[in-house]
Structure 1
Amino acid sequence: MRFHLVLAAVLWAGCADARKVRGISSSYKRFYRERKSFLCIDGSKIIPFEQVNDDYCDCEDGSDEPGTSACPRGRFYCTNLGFRPHYIPSSRVNDGICDCCDASDEYNSHAHCQNTCWNLGQRERAYVEGQMRTLDEGLRLKQQLIEEGVLLWREKQAQLRELQQAAEDLQIKLEEHRRKKHEAERLKEQTLKALEAGDGGVRHQNNSVTGVFQLLDSNKDGRLTVDEVRAKVVLVHDEERLLSEDEAVGLLGEGHQMDLAKFRHTLWDALTRGDSVKIKDALSAAGSLVGEDPHLKAADRAAEWEATNLKKVEEAYETINMEISDLRKKLAIDYGTDWEFLFLNSQCYKLKVYEYTYTLCPFNQVTQKSTAGTEVSLGLWGMWAGTPKNPYNQMVYENGEPCWQGGSRSTTVTLTCGTETALRSVKEPSKCQYIMDFQTPVACQPVLKQRGIHSEL
């Protein structure tokens, strides 16, 4: 009999204790050890311990009613053994709706709640295990991409050095070709001046005499006639007047025709002096004469050749400097502590969402293309905008095309861990402001492995 009384007392004490500590986490149970009085956790009031969980709110912080809905600011702790424990507002206690998966919040209501914590825990554990496997695989792939990034970075640096050396060599060639072009032009100018002045030596003089004779000899019969002279020779002070027949005969040495030998000692002298007669359209005629000179032709060909070569070297020099500038810009970008993001450069990733196709080209731009073919810029590469602990988990693309409401379009790209690199989602939470989820192994962080599965699962 005595044994039964002791057992009943123990059971009653257990029930009383369960009533008093209901809705309390293990870390707060020290405040609810049964004693004569209870101090509100905020220290504002002391009440008799019998008033704890009596369905009447005595403490301003609601700490005296953790297991009832009496206090508007109260919280009820769901133990949820086998799943994640959490707090719910005390107003939900015994409201006929099961909020705790272990049904502990509906201990005194008409609701028939089943304990689903184990099933929920199993699903969450399976999810976490899947995430851990994904993380492990992602970290393995990330290491490969880091190694590739280091090699690629070294290749880019070597390429830059080669381009810089090539630019230096071209600079030397450029200066040499400029010098040769200048010399060729100077030689051409000297030859031209010698021809025009008639003091280029006997050979030049003979060539000039022959050239003028051939210019005047329209029918190329080796003789100059009165009509040929009148057609191409004019008075210096009256260019518009046609020479008379007598004037032409006088220039021909009082004859009606002459050959090259006689021309050299008669009309050529008059043309050389330039005080009485000259060839009609002297500039054009001089150009024709000059063009016939073999020395000038050679000088002209040399100048043209050097000009062509110089242009080719200048174009090559300009092209290689553009390549150097472009490569320097690429190398100036922050590709992560181990250059793990370098492989994304020059890559583009697409995702179709309804009638739009979105394209993300990391470190370049983001675009949106409609089914009608209209393409709009949603932003150009701006900067990394992650947290201090993980600065590489977010990209910002700004200064896209203007929005009809004003301002320019921009896109924020959040990088998440995954076993493949792909654009996963695109949203427009506010007008012309876009957010993207971009999955890639290089976003995987080893620190995630330390979180593990919650100890109370």
Structure 2
Amino acid sequence: MMLSSYVTFLLISSLFTIIFCGNIEHTVLRGVPTSLHSKYVPSKNFSCLDGSSTIPFEFVNDDYCDCRDGSDEPGTSACPNGQFFCENKGYIGTLIPSHLVGDGVCDCCDGSDEYETTIVCNNTCFELAQKTKAEREAKQALHEAGVIKKKEIIATSVVTKATRQTRLIELEQDLRKLEYELKGKEELKQQAEIPENEAKGKHQKLWEEQRAVREAIARDNQMREMFADLDTNNDSLVSIEELQKHTELDTDHENEFTAEEVRSILGADSVNFDEFNVTVFEQISNSYQKLPQISIETPVNQDDLAATTEAHLKQEEEEEEESAAATEGDYEEDLSHHEASTHVATSLDHGKHIHDDTVPEYDDETKRLIETADHARNEYNEVERKVHDIKRQIDDLKRQSDVDVGIHGEYSAFIDQCYDYEEREYTYRICMFKDAKQIPKGGGSEVTIGYWDSWCGPTDNKYLRMKYANGATCWNGPARSLTVTFRCGIEHKTVDVREPTRCEYAMLFETPSACDETIAIASVHPDHEEF
């Protein structure tokens, strides 16, 4: 009977010990992450997690900081650098600074950080779990839809790349053929231009000679008229007294027109017609003016002047024809032909053409040669235009091939595409792999905020961010630049532009190209969530 009572006592004592020890362990391990439970064993001394010291286990969570890293007080606010683990069952376990424990504010969704206070914390872990689940499912659905479009872009990129390469080969073959054809057209053009230039040269030379004759006639008439006007006494001489009347010829305009000044012009006391022609006329022709007619003077014999002019004109023509016949036989034929059609020299209407500087129309043979050369030039120019066009296409294709559009070509849809973002004062326009600009809405010049530079995303995926650098320089500042960050979206569009730092712009851009297949295919278990 006594033995039975003793056994019963031992069983009851053991039971209380187990219960008591369990409560101690539960209390001691408050605020400790599950992954660190093996470090907190009540039957052993506790070693600070930073290895700085070892303390009796009863010092753990005794509201006194013994370890430098605060690891002995995971469940209290004793250590300023300690951390408290919120278990948050049904949601995501999190670490919070231990100084938030017992501060009267519910920081853990399960309220476990306020275990020693009278604050009643509502357990919001379920609601947070539901919200997180909905956000994750929405994100997954977005990435699923985006990945479908992304795969379409990649598939198109593969076809485009192959088509581009094929087209490049075709264009290079066409270019070689056209360059060979162009060389032949150039030779034909040069051959056609030789007789054309010769004929046009002859025509020009003939016209210049005829114009020189007309100018000589005009000069001779002007000189004769001036001589007759100066020779007031009709003695066939121009004297000092006669020229001295023309004070407009006095170069200093300060003193009287002296006899000595007049003599310096004439070179003598008087000059005859030939001397006047040789030494005086050129000196005074630009300044000479007729005197007002105050009395009736003996008029110049117009018949004699016309006869003299006609004789001089005929003499010039005969000299010109003799010179042409002596130098080139066929030139005389061209001259005669041209004279017959344009009435140059003696048959020219002097009053109409004396000051005419318009080149006469080409003869029929020259026109034919010009037409032949024009045809050759047009054919050459047409082939040359095709060569330039093909070279431009080749350059464009090579430029597109050299652009880094992602590992699988997922950013290939951006090539040669521009996108606008409207905000209150500006329109921001980014032309992918080219440049980005800020365009004022109120008028004014657009500003380049960067030229395509490189991909600059994180090491695990550099294609999530791109850099545009060396834009227009800010006033007293650096050159403008733009960083574009990509995130998953159904469409290609800019969703935000800011200037977080002066002259450094940040753009957020949505695109299917940034959608992640690992997120899209993440499994969801309706009866169990892992956070």
Alignment-derived partner of residue 263 in structure 2: none
TM-fit CA distance, 1:8? 4.3
Write the letter of the residue equivalent to 1:377: T
Moved more, 318-327 or 339-348: 318-327
Which protein has the bigger strand share?
1
TM-fit CA distance, 1:412? 0.7
Given the superposition, is the C-alpha separation of residues 172 and 392 from structure 1 closer, same or farther in structure 2, using an over 3 Å criterion? same
Q: Is 1:32 the equivalent of 2:40?
A: yes
Q: Is 1:422 the equivalent of 2:493?
A: yes
Alpha-carbon distance in structure 1 between the residues aligned to 2:90 and 2:313 = 130
Matches within 5 A, 1:217-228: none
Alignment-derived partner of residue 66 in structure 1: 74
Given the superposition, is the C-alpha separation of residues 298 and 73 from structure 1 closer, same or farther in structure 2, using an over 3 Å criterion? same
Alignment-derived partner of residue 393 in structure 1: 464
Work out whether residues 71 and 82 of structure 2, in 8 Å CA contact, stay in contact via their aligned partners in 1: yes
TM-fit CA distance, 1:53? 0.8
Write the letter of the residue equivalent to 1:316: K
Alignment-derived partner of residue 400 in structure 2: 330
Given the superposition, is the C-alpha separation of residues 10 and 249 from structure 1 closer, same or farther in structure 2, using an over 3 Å criterion? closer
Q: Is 1:41 the equivalent of 2:49?
A: yes
Alignment-derived partner of residue 446 in structure 1: 517
Q: Is 1:297 the equivalent of 2:367?
A: yes
Write the letter of the residue equivalent to 1:299: L
Aligned residues: 406
Given the superposition, is the C-alpha separation of residues 140 and 250 from structure 1 closer, same or farther in structure 2, using an over 3 Å criterion? closer
TM-fit CA distance, 1:193? 8.1
Moved more, 286-295 or 145-154: 286-295
Q: Deviations over 1:145-168 (max 9, x none)?
A: 111111222232233333333332
Q: 2:145 aligns with which of 137, 148, 151?
A: 137
Moved more, 99-108 or 33-42: 33-42
TM-fit CA distance, 1:7? 5.1
Write the letter of the residue equivalent to 2:187: R
Alignment-derived partner of residue 384 in structure 2: 314
Given the superposition, is the C-alpha separation of residues 32 and 247 from structure 1 closer, same or farther in structure 2, using an over 3 Å criterion? closer
- Partner of 1:392, secondary structure, is helix
Alpha-carbon distance in structure 2 between the residues aligned to 1:322 and 1:305 = 26
- Root mean square deviation, CA, Å: 3.9
Gaps of 5+ in 1: 198-207, 216-226, 232-237, 252-262
Moved more, 287-296 or 401-410: 287-296
Alpha-carbon distance in structure 2 between the residues aligned to 1:429 and 1:246 = 91
Q: 2:430 aligns with which of 360, 365, 369?
A: 360
- Partner of 2:463, secondary structure, is coil
Larger Cα Rg: Structure 1 or Structure 2? 2
TM-fit CA distance, 1:446? 2.6
TM-fit CA distance, 1:196? 11
Q: Is 1:176 the equivalent of 2:184?
A: yes
Work out whether residues 153 and 339 of structure 1, in 8 Å CA contact, stay in contact via their aligned partners in 2: no
Work out whether residues 101 and 116 of structure 1, in 8 Å CA contact, stay in contact via their aligned partners in 2: yes
TM-fit CA distance, 1:274? 6.3
Identity among equivalent positions (%) equals: 34
Q: 1:370 aligns with which of 440, 443, 447?
A: 440
Please, what TM-score do these two structures have when normalized by structure 2? 0.67
Alignment-derived partner of residue 76 in structure 1: 84
Work out whether residues 429 and 435 of structure 1, in 8 Å CA contact, stay in contact via their aligned partners in 2: yes
- Partner of 2:120, secondary structure, is coil
Alignment-derived partner of residue 147 in structure 1: 155
Alpha-carbon distance in structure 2 between the residues aligned to 1:293 and 1:268 = 20
Alpha-carbon distance in structure 1 between the residues aligned to 2:309 and 2:455 = 93
TM-fit CA distance, 1:13? 2.4
Work out whether residues 450 and 471 of structure 2, in 8 Å CA contact, stay in contact via their aligned partners in 1: yes
Alpha-carbon distance in structure 2 between the residues aligned to 1:70 and 1:426 = 46
Given the superposition, is the C-alpha separation of residues 450 and 43 from structure 1 closer, same or farther in structure 2, using an over 3 Å criterion? farther
Alignment-derived partner of residue 433 in structure 1: 504
Q: Is 1:17 the equivalent of 2:25?
A: yes
Alpha-carbon distance in structure 2 between the residues aligned to 1:268 and 1:425 = 84
Work out whether residues 381 and 398 of structure 1, in 8 Å CA contact, stay in contact via their aligned partners in 2: yes
Work out whether residues 81 and 456 of structure 1, in 8 Å CA contact, stay in contact via their aligned partners in 2: no
TM-fit CA distance, 1:186? 2.0
Alpha-carbon distance in structure 1 between the residues aligned to 2:26 and 2:38 = 14
Write the letter of the residue equivalent to 2:418: C
Alpha-carbon distance in structure 1 between the residues aligned to 2:58 and 2:400 = 73
Write the letter of the residue equivalent to 2:427: T
Alignment-derived partner of residue 262 in structure 2: none
Given the superposition, is the C-alpha separation of residues 344 and 273 from structure 1 closer, same or farther in structure 2, using an over 3 Å criterion? closer
Alignment-derived partner of residue 106 in structure 1: 114
